[in-house]
Amino acid sequence: MKKVFLGIGALFLLFVAGLVVLMTVDFNRLNKEAYYVHITTDGKVEEFKASNGEIWKSYWYEIPAYDENGKELTLKFSAHKNLRHDAYMKLYVKKETEVTSYDEVKFHELPKKVQELMKK
């Protein structure tokens, strides 16, 4: 009987641990390449109308991005709001061009090589 309760307890702990991992790990950022951009213009607005009549907007950006070694790549990505002018963003990229997520970062948080390229 003890073995049954221990087995049930172990399964419960595994289930709870799995839930915690699913709730805390952002799979859109996990194992992605980081590229950095400087937002200087507004995004191009694209509107979508939902079936209930609600209007959704996406703001599209196509700008040069740099990896930590200074390699340049033009990336196209969207945001649900117009990003702040003069903001520095860290983009999470998979398959070389697919942006899965982004974060705003401070200039001093950029890699040194990227800082040099963005000062120009």
- pLDDT category at 22 given cuts 50, 70, 90 is low
- pLDDT at site 38: 87
Do 54 and 61 touch, CB atoms closer than 8 A? no
- pLDDT category at 110 given cuts 50, 70, 90 is confident
Written as six digits, the tokens of 104 are 């705003």
Beta-bridged to residue 74, according to DSSP, are 64
pLDDT at 83 over 70: yes
- Residue 89 one-letter amino acid: M
- pLDDT at site 52: 85
Q: What is the mean pLDDT of residues 79-101?
A: 82
- pLDDT at site 23: 62
Segment 24-74, tens digit of pLDDT: 655 555 556 788 888 888 888 888 888 888 888 889 988 888 888 878 888
- Helix %, strand %, coil % of the chain (to 5): 30, 40, 30
Give Cβ neighbours of residue 80 (< 8 Å, ≥ 6 apart).
57, 58, 59
Do 56 and 50 touch, CB atoms closer than 8 A? yes
